[in-house]
Amino acid sequence: MNPYNIYISGVGGQGIIKTSVIMGEAAMQSGLSVVVGEIHGMSQRGGVVSTQMKIGDSHSPLIEEGKTDLLLAFEPLEALRAMNMINEDSYVVVNTSTIYPFNIRQSEHPYPELSTMLDELESQAKKVIALDADGIAKGAGHILAMNMVMLGAAAAIPGFPVDKETIIKSMQDNLPEKSIPINLEAFEEGFKFCLQNL
């Protein structure tokens, strides 16, 4: 199959790497080839982190500009920074909870308005699903489950190459046992939100 290209962006500490591991293992359990490339910025200090993943036939994890099928952005400014990766057929799932980067806090340039960022994304993508993943995770029991809210939303995107049940199995294999009930609820809430807003 032609590769399905997923670009995940956010900042350190948001669970991006764990999300990509769960996705990748779920794809392999489905009999699909997977290649992954990660960029760790100052990940321990809230720096930029991104993962590029191709599910399907590919030898390189690097996604060409404008070739992303799904942009999964854990922070809205990081979605904007990754906009060169999407095209008019791309889906974007973006967490609306903001994390102010160090360089903006220390400069005269203000953090962009959320509505402006979402308008910009919508002008370039097929569909933008914007959700307060932090708030949904808190409602499920813990803010650290935010990445599973985002994973749930991703799993509901039309054309996503791995089925929901296989992702849940991969979650159960890769998450601490005591955290699974909260993470499963967070996943289900993200999945439901995405379906309702497609």
Q: Domain 4-197, what fold?
A: Pyruvate-ferredoxin Oxidoreductase; domain 3 (3.40.920)
Characterise 141 by phi-psi region: left (phi > 0), alpha (psi -120 to 50), beta (else). Answer: left
pLDDT grade, residue 104 (50/70/90)? Answer: low
Tokens 């399907």: give the residue.
56
- 4-29 pLDDT, tens digit per residue, is 999 999 988 898 999 999 999 999 99
pLDDT exceeds 60 at position 42: no
Q: What is the model's pLDDT at position 43? A: 47
For the residues 45-52, what does the mean pLDDT come to? 77
Give the bridge partners for 72, in sequence order. Answer: 8, 93
For the residues 31-49, what does the mean pLDDT come to? 73
- 162-173 pLDDT, tens digit per residue, is 999 999 999 999
Domain ranges of the chain: 4-197
pLDDT grade, residue 32 (50/70/90)? Answer: very high
φ and ψ of 119, to 5 deg: -60, -40
pLDDT exceeds 60 at position 40: no
Lowest average pLDDT, out of 20-29, 44-53, 147-156, goes to: 44-53
pLDDT exceeds 80 at position 100: no
Token pair belonging to 109: 């340039």
pLDDT exceeds 80 at position 63: yes
Give the DSSP per-residue string, 18-78: HHHHHHHHHHHHTT--EEEEEEESSGGGT-EEEEEEEESS-S--PPPTT--SEEEESSHHH
pTM for the predicted model, two decimal places: 0.93
pLDDT exceeds 90 at position 128: yes
Question: Which of the pair, 137 or 50, is modelled with greater confidence?
Answer: 137
Q: What is the model's pLDDT at position 27? A: 96
